[in-house]
Amino acid sequence: MKKVLFIYFSQSGQLEEIAQAIAKPMIADQKAEIDFYEIKMVHQFPFPWTADAFFNAFPESFQQIPEEIHPPAPHILQTNYDLVVLYYQVWYLTPSIPINSFLKSEYAEKILGNRSVITVSGSRNMWALAQDKVKVLLQKNNATLVGNIALTDRHHNLISVITIVDWMFSGKKRKAYGIFPKPGVSDAEIKGATKYGDIIARHLGIGNFASLQQELVKSGAVDYRFFLVSMDQKGNRMFKIWSSIILKNKTKRKRLLVVFKYYVVFAIYVVSPLVYLVELLLYPFLYFLKYKKERQHYEGI
């Protein structure tokens, strides 16, 4: 019997639903024993969020400053898993504070060290550079990444900003103002994630993950959009400057976060459409210079 561990943290329950959908085939064929480990923070983040709490989480999220987590159950630390699946969400272009806190905790290497790991993100749509950051932490924990699934909100970037804000601040995954589409990963895609579970179960059965990622990508597991990666890169450069300034100026933190909030709105609704136009015009040139390689990188592991 193969042993699989699913690690997750989820405020709304979306990632837990995705984890259940992926686990379904493995539970059904009774060839794997599955444990779930939900990361629990000592200091909890609110859900629904208030605007203040949401922006206050920015500097520490982006700078990947860990917080204390409750220890996992002893049998999770003692079991020799054949596969670990790590579910995570992105906060400010970075793995969320709970996930980062786990990956930097004393428990991470005990659970992940010398193990095959599959990462599964459930984000709005900007997951690419966060995945690079997760890869660094997996390497530090001596884990071997064998697959990656990146589930996103497939609607237009500017629409998904409106709908996710409504979701995060109301706690309800609903059609914002009655006219917008539902936020987050769609119900159909969450249900359909069972197909990834089938692929994973097959590779787990034969004990070889060499062609896993290729098969996952073929079945739609990775949402690569050149423009989103480009915004992610630019956002990372700006967030680095903003987070350092805010963390250095402790007494001005509140005021700086207000300015940061307006900067984010301006960057999303004014700067990003202009950059999109320019990059669309340059697409034929940039495809060979940049995007082709980039797609390979983000569709790979």
Q: State which amino acid sits at residue 51.
A: A
Question: Which is nearer to ligand FMN, 11 or 131 (by Cβ)?
Answer: 11
* Residue 163 interacting with ligand FMN (CB under 6 A): no
Question: Which is nearer to ligand FMN, 25 or 122 (by Cβ)?
Answer: 122
- Mark 173-212 with x for binding to ligand FMN (rule: CB under 6 A) and - for no binding: -----------x----------------------------
Hey, which bits of the chain come out as E strands?
2-8, 32-38, 83-88, 90-91, 94-95, 116-122, 144-151
Question: Which is nearer to ligand FMN, 10 or 272 (by Cβ)?
Answer: 10
Using alpha carbons, list the distances in angstroms from residue 152 to 47, 97, 107, 220, 267.
20, 19, 28, 11, 21
Q: Which two tokens stand for residue 285?
A: 């040139």
Question: Which is nearer to ligand FMN, 64 or 123 (by Cβ)?
Answer: 123
* Residue 131 interacting with ligand FMN (CB under 6 A): no
Are β-strands 90-91 and 32-38 bridged in parallel, bridged antiparallel, or unpaired? unpaired
Candidate list 26, 90, 143, 199; residue touching ligand FMN; CB under 6 A: 90
* Residue 243 interacting with ligand FMN (CB under 6 A): no
Reference 265, options 147, 161, 195, 191; nearest CA is 161
* Residue 124 interacting with ligand FMN (CB under 6 A): yes
Pair 117, 145: CB distance under 8 Å? yes
Reference 2, options 21, 19, 25; nearest CA is 25
Query: What sign results for the dihedral spanned by CA atoms 92, 128, 130, 14?
Result: positive
Stretch that binds ligand FMN, among 25-33, 64-72, 123-131, 280-288 (CB under 6 A): 123-131
* Residue 168 interacting with ligand FMN (CB under 6 A): yes
Candidate list 95, 122, 147, 197; residue touching ligand FMN; CB under 6 A: 122
Name the site residues for ligand FMN (rule: CB under 6 A): 10-12, 14-15, 49, 54, 57, 89-93, 122-127, 164, 168, 184
